[in-house]
């Protein structure tokens, strides 16, 4: 359902060869091969998730990608000392479901290097449609969250665009957000 969005979301991170990227709540790792290609063999990609089951599946996906590492950790308590400098962070379909998103955003923002980008792809329900309830039930998602407000409060310059996709499928409108750190 969301596969076709991923290359454009990774491109919005503006990664360069040798760069360092973090995939927040990477799940089974569908973004990781795209991130590995963007930073190249000299780069570094860290997939973070607190679910061991999700990371077991992600590990299979990145077995041939030595520039990718996986870390089982609560994103709320991740520190620069543990992960080193990060040029860009991606979150796809995570911030609508993870508990305590404000704390996660603050922790991630602190990891990002000056000039870095935090790129989010998720779904926001401007208005209720029948699928909103369905998505809430199946995915345990809160489609009314506005992470852009939290990021602006942290000092980010935020650009956000709606992406094509019927609210009747997603329960809301898919969006791409790019937050730049001064």
- Residue entry with tokens 């543990």: 82
In the complex, the smallest distance separating the C-beta of residue 101 from ligand SAM, rounded to whole angstroms, is 9
How far apart are CB 182 and ligand SAM at their closest, in Å?
26
- We find the least distance from the C-beta atom of residue 111 to ligand SAM, in angstroms, to be 13
- Looking at 22, 43, 49, 156, which residue binds ligand SAM (CB under 6 A)? 49
Q: What separation, in Å, do the N-terminal and C-terminal C-alpha atoms of the chain show?
A: 34
State phi, psi for 141 to the nearest 5 degrees. Answer: -95, 145
Site of tokens 């962070």: 89
Residue in 20, 21, 22, 27 binding ligand SAM, rule: CB under 6 A = 27
Among 74, 83, 136, 163, binds ligand SAM (CB under 6 A): 74
Binding segment for ligand SAM (CB under 6 A), chosen from 71-79, 129-137, 148-156, 163-171, is: 71-79
Query: Looking at beta carbons, which residue is closest to ligand SAM?
Result: 27
Q: Are 53 and 59 in contact (CB under 8 A)?
A: no
Tell me: does residue 50 bind ligand SAM (CB under 6 A): yes
* Residue 82 in tokens: 């543990």
- Considering only residues 6 to 25 of the shown chain, the ones binding ligand SAM according to CB under 6 A are 25
CB of 27: closest distance to ligand SAM in angstroms?
A: 3
Residue 26 as a binder of ligand SAM (CB under 6 A): the answer is yes
Q: Should residue 94 be labelled a site residue for ligand SAM when binding is judged by CB under 6 A?
A: yes
Q: Does 87 bind ligand SAM (CB under 6 A)?
A: no
Binding site for ligand SAM (CB under 6 A): 25-27, 30, 48-51, 54, 74-76, 92-94, 97-99, 104
């Amino acid at each position: 359902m969301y596969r076709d969005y991923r290359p454009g979301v990774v491109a919005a991170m503006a990664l360069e060869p040798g760069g360092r990227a973090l995939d927040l709540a990477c799940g089974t790792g569908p973004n990781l091969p795209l991130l590995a290609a963007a930073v190249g063999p000299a780069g570094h990609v860290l997939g973070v998730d607190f679910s061991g089951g999700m990371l077991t599946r992600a590990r299979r996906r990145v077995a041939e990608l030595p520039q990718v590492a996986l870390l089982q950790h609560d994103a709320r308590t991740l520190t620069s000392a543990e992960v080193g400098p990060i040029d860009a962070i991606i979150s796809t379909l995570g911030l609508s479901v993870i508990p305590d998103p404000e704390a996660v955003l603050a922790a991630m923002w602190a990891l990002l290097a000056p000039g870095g980008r935090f790129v989010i792809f998720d779904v926001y329900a401007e208005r209720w449609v029948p699928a909103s309830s369905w998505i809430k039930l199946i995915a345990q998602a809160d489609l009314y969250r506005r992470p852009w407000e939290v990021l602006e409060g942290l000092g980010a310059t935020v650009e956000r665009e709606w992406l094509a996709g019927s609210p009747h499928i997603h329960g809301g409108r898919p969006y791409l957000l790019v937050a730049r750190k001064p």
